[in-house]
Amino acid sequence: CVRVGSVDIRRDRIRRISQMLTTRWDHQKSPYDVLHVARGASLKDIKSQYYKLSMEYHPDRTISKPLEERTQCNQTYILVQNAYAILSDPRKRAEYDYILATRIAPVVSYTRAPTTAAGQPQAFWGD
Amino acid sequence: MPTAMPAPTPTAERGDERGREPMTVSPEPSIRSRSPSLPPGSHYIGIDLGTTLLRLCAYHPDLQTVRFVPNERDKRKTPCFVAFPDDIELVESGRKACDPVVGEEAQRWLFKYPKATVFSWAQLVGLKFDDERVAFYQRYAPYRLVKDKYARVCVEIEHDGRQKHYRPEDLTAILLTYARQNAEQALRHPITGSVITVPAGYTLLQRDATKEAARQAGFQHARLISNAAAAAIAFGFDRPAHPTSVTEYVLSFNLGAAHIDCAVVGIDEEVFEVLASAGDVGFGAADVDVRLLMHFVQDLSKQSNRKLTSLDLLSLRFGAEKIKKALSTADSISHTIQLSSGAYAMTMTRELLETLCADFFDRCLVPIQQVLVEAKMDITKISKVVLSGGGSHFPKLRDRISSLFPGNHIYDFALIDKHKAVGYGAGIESALLSGMRSPNITNYLLIDSLSFSLGILDTTTNTIKTLLKRNTALPAQTTVTLRPIPPTTPPTSTPPAPIAVIKLYEGDTTDPKTCHLLATLSTPIPTQDKHITLSIDVDVDRTVLVTLVSDETEKNVRVTDYPMPVFDVSEDWERGVGVTVVGAGERKGQAGGEVEGMEIQD
């Protein structure tokens, strides 16, 4: 158990967060990068940015676009959703910030691509 | 599905309803008076599909707003009745014997052909025949409920001396066909899609049954939104000017005839985000009618010479509905119901009604507490409580709800008739999906969320491991890695290739018995130390796509293809999704081959 600010972080929860991050995640980008907000952004800014990106990428807003572009917007929107799921929850955000600060953020990982499944998935948090 | 469509008859009563329509700004063309200048593309219509009433709402490009679509009798609401009368009057008018009649036309046949007139079937959608609620509905319904070969509930209608079974979704399809033809006649252009309101507590199966009904009715695409979300959208367009860039949180409560919907919705300038929703399906304002009915029956049984026929029960039921509505405004009412054994006169007071329904109000408040907890929302952060649906008129219920929210006001719609709020919201959503770009109405977005958690069975503990939590914003996606556990007993002979069996469940508990089995997926595992990656994608239409990756094989399975295998009928199931199901007999033969269980790597 690690204490960061006012939030206690349990190791198993960090594992779960890292699991979330492996979800179709572009590992070059942190949730902050995906939402185009600064590391210290307020919750209000994060939310308004999320709404702004939703207006741009949500499948219901891209109906008139060609199919290929729509698919791409959809992929982007999944990333936005995942990023917002982390940053809108104070606890998850603190945990993620902790991961970033201690430089154990997932660098590379197996994704759902079948090619990577050939090898053993790496244990991130090998105890 | 052929439907008898009487030709639209322009009647003298035209304009009656319009006079009461608060949204009407005169002088203004009626929605059907001129052909609108439509952009090419798909055209959606909003459908408020209630248990007792149906309302259609569509975007009018010339007026740049949404309007309710009148039916062929020029009414803006259509009762949800479907009848199959074998009547000489209809046969003479050139109607085929098996053609259904819909709406007010069907309501007319109720007392003449009670066994062939169906109403209030929405609560039957997606139910098993063995469900305890089915027996309850059968007690108060004149039509017969039977079991089909998939153990689902069906309505049995006799026409031409032959029995025919209709699934509840078939009846919905008949109603929606009527709605589509009606809208096409009134709007004078083809309709390709629909936004249909459903109870928030509808499961994926019930939603799929509704979508299937829409498909049968000729809609290429159907988007289902909850009644509470639709009412919240209507609120967003009705509310007084609000400082921009401040998100307002409202609690939308919808009490329909057979459902309670509740949602916490965050409303930004242009985004509506459903933060949490909950509901009670199969319980609603119609339960008050049933209580009144039971009270009447008890009262009548004291008068010894009275024998009640099934038609009498029907009269009492509709009488109870009238009395209930009247008591929303009056303190007491005297009413006479004609029964076969003579007139039954009674006086009913609001006080007595409230005593009869004491626990009813308690149950109405349960979803409110639930959504507040799930949205992690403090009661003081809720700025308005939006009430919609017929049942929300009970003064007692309004009192109970307003006492829950100190300092908050129950919002009464200013521009929109509150009966129409849900339909209005569906209409606005349909304008968005049509791709209309009108500055004042369509520049917004509804972010809906998952109604129930999705999870898979963890066979090591026999509990359900939640992968996507309820209220996750849609579209949602998640991935987990599964590690097969090799069987504990060594195989006696050369085992066949091991098969991993993954069961996908929908539900909020960890007990598989109380959740719905959505799918049983299986995939071969080449060697036992290999891992399987499982992804679940839920798109905005709540189509669930499951992707299994084990070594070289990748399998995509669409889970919510109709019909779904929820009632453990493997035959039905295989047709739906086309994956291998390890049957019980098969499993015996390869005892050593199948993996013992799946462990979720966390």
A1 touches chain B (CB under 8 A): no
CA nearest B563: which of B207, B225, B194, B218?
B207
Residues B552, B434 share a domain: no
Residues B373, B355 share a domain: no
The stretch B301-312 carries a mean pLDDT of 78
Of A23, A48, A114, the CB nearest to B477: A23
Q: What is the CATH number of the domain that holds B335?
A: 3.90.640.10
The confidence score (pLDDT) of residue B132 equals 83
Of B445, B475, B602, the CB nearest to A55: B445
Q: What is the pLDDT of residues B510-538, one digit of tens each?
A: 888 888 888 777 776 655 556 677 888 88
Counting beta carbons within 10 angstroms of the beta carbon of residue A21, is it exposed (0 to 12), middle (13 to 18) or buried (19 or more)? buried
Whether the Cβ atoms of residue B313 and residue B337 lie closer than 8 Å to each other: no
Asked if A19 and B533 come within 8 Å (Cβ–Cβ), the reply is no
Is residue B369 in some structural domain? yes
The confidence score (pLDDT) of residue A107 equals 43
Q: Which two tokens stand for residue B263?
A: 């949602």
Burial B536-550 (b: 16+ CB within 10 A, else e): bbbebbbbbebbbbb
The confidence score (pLDDT) of residue B589 equals 29
The stretch B576-598 carries a mean pLDDT of 32
Q: What is the pLDDT of residues B485-512, one digit of tens each?
A: 655 555 555 555 566 677 888 888 888 8
Asked if B477 and A78 come within 8 Å (Cβ–Cβ), the reply is yes
The confidence score (pLDDT) of residue A39 equals 84
Whether the Cβ atoms of residue B133 and residue B280 lie closer than 8 Å to each other: no
Of B433, B446, B550, the CB nearest to A63: B433
Whether the Cβ atoms of residue B46 and residue B421 lie closer than 8 Å to each other: no
Residues B372, B255 share a domain: yes
State the number of CA atoms in the 13 A half-sphere of B167 facing the CB: 19
**Min Cα–Cα distance to chain B from A68, Å:** 16
Whether the Cβ atoms of residue B123 and residue B137 lie closer than 8 Å to each other: yes
Asked if A63 and B478 come within 8 Å (Cβ–Cβ), the reply is no
Q: Has residue A7 got a pLDDT over 80?
A: no
The stretch B587-591 carries a mean pLDDT of 30
Q: Which domain holds residue B302?
A: 286-359
Pairing of strands B544-550, B271-281: unpaired
Residues B316, B347 share a domain: yes
| The pTM of the whole model exceeds 0.90 | no
Burial B416-441 (b: 16+ CB within 10 A, else e): bebbbbbbbbbbbbbbbbbbbeeeeb
Of B473, B477, B551, the CB nearest to A117: B551
A70 touches chain B (CB under 8 A): no
Taking CA atoms, what residue in A is nearest to B526?
A118
Is residue B98 in some structural domain? yes
- The phi, psi pair for A55, rounded to 5°, reads -60, -25
The confidence score (pLDDT) of residue B89 equals 73
Residues B159, B116 share a domain: yes
Q: Residues of chain B with pLDDT > 70: what percent?
A: 76
The confidence score (pLDDT) of residue B544 equals 85
Q: Which of A19-33, B2-16, B374-388 has the lowest mean pLDDT?
A: B2-16
Is residue B262 in some structural domain? yes
Task: Provide CB contacts within 8 A for B302, sequence distance 6+.
Answer: none
Whether the Cβ atoms of residue B323 and residue B332 lie closer than 8 Å to each other: no
Residue with tokens 């939590």: B469
Q: What is the pLDDT of residues B393-407, one digit of tens each?
A: 888 888 888 888 877
**Min Cα–Cα distance to chain A from B388, Å:** 25
Q: Which two tokens stand for residue B525?
A: 């595992």
The confidence score (pLDDT) of residue B265 equals 94
Q: What is the CATH number of the domain that holds B154?
A: 3.30.420.40
Q: Which of A3-7, B299-303, B397-401 has the lowest mean pLDDT?
A: A3-7
Counting beta carbons within 10 angstroms of the beta carbon of residue B148, is it exposed (0 to 12), middle (13 to 18) or buried (19 or more)? middle
The confidence score (pLDDT) of residue B525 equals 64
**Min Cα–Cα distance to chain B from A23, Å:** 6
Residues B237, B117 share a domain: yes
Q: Which two tokens stand for residue A114?
A: 């079948």
Q: Has residue B583 got a pLDDT over 90?
A: no
A67 touches chain B (CB under 8 A): no
Taking CA atoms, what residue in A is nearest to B272?
A51
Is residue B8 in some structural domain? no
Name which residue leads in pLDDT, B554 or B171.
B171
Q: What is the pLDDT of residues B108-136, one digit of tens each?
A: 888 888 888 899 888 888 788 888 888 88
Confidence of residue B576 (pLDDT cuts 50, 70, 90): very low
SS3 label, residue A114:
helix
Confidence of residue B30 (pLDDT cuts 50, 70, 90): very low
Q: Has residue B35 got a pLDDT over 80?
A: no
The confidence score (pLDDT) of residue A5 equals 57
Q: Has residue B251 got a pLDDT over 60?
A: yes
Q: Which two tokens stand for residue B43?
A: 């055209």
Whole-Å CA distances, B417 to B392, B395, B408, B420, B454? 13, 18, 21, 5, 37
Q: How far is residue A92's CA from residue A45's CA, in Å, rounded to a whole number?
A: 17
Whether the Cβ atoms of residue B475 and residue A78 lie closer than 8 Å to each other: yes
Q: Residues of chain A with pLDDT > 90: what percent?
A: 16
Beta bridge partners of B254: B261, B388
Q: Has residue A92 got a pLDDT over 70?
A: yes
Is residue B193 in some structural domain? yes
The stretch B239-256 carries a mean pLDDT of 82
Residues B293, B146 share a domain: no
Residues B354, B500 share a domain: no
Asked if B549 and A121 come within 8 Å (Cβ–Cβ), the reply is no
CA nearest B557: which of B545, B542, B570?
B545
Q: What is the pLDDT of residues B149-165, one digit of tens each?
A: 777 888 998 877 778 88
Counted domains in chain B: 3
The confidence score (pLDDT) of residue B504 equals 85
**Min Cα–Cα distance to chain A from B433, Å:** 6
Q: How far is residue B456's CA from residue B601's CA, in Å, rounded to a whole number?
A: 13
Neighbours of B51 (CB within 10 A): 21
- Final residue before a domain boundary, out of B302, B332, B359: B359
Name which residue leads in pLDDT, B427 or A18.
B427
CA nearest B384: which of B505, B514, B231, B537?
B231
Residues B265, B166 share a domain: yes
Contacts of B476 in chain A (CB under 8 A): 81
Q: Residues of chain B with pLDDT > 90: what percent?
A: 19
Taking CA atoms, what residue in B is nearest to A84?
B473
Residues B274, B322 share a domain: no
- Radius of gyration, CA atoms only, chain B: 26
Is residue B5 in some structural domain? no
Is residue B4 in some structural domain? no
The confidence score (pLDDT) of residue B141 equals 83
Neighbours of B200 (CB within 10 A): 28
Task: Estimate the crossing angle of helix B168-187 against helix B204-216, to 10 degrees.
Answer: 50
Asked if B547 and A112 come within 8 Å (Cβ–Cβ), the reply is yes
The stretch B244-273 carries a mean pLDDT of 89
Of B433, B476, B479, the CB nearest to A60: B433
The rounded mean pLDDT for chain B is 77
Contacts of A121 in chain B (CB under 8 A): 481, 531, 601
Q: Has residue B331 got a pLDDT over 80?
A: yes
- Final residue before a domain boundary, out of B323, B341, B359: B359
Asked if A55 and B270 come within 8 Å (Cβ–Cβ), the reply is yes
The confidence score (pLDDT) of residue B253 equals 93
The confidence score (pLDDT) of residue B493 equals 54
Is residue B429 in some structural domain? yes
Q: What is the CATH number of the domain that holds B485?
A: 2.60.34.10
The confidence score (pLDDT) of residue B5 equals 42
Confidence of residue A2 (pLDDT cuts 50, 70, 90): low
Residues B590, B551 share a domain: yes
Residues B391, B369 share a domain: yes
- Final residue before a domain boundary, out of B403, B430, B447: B447
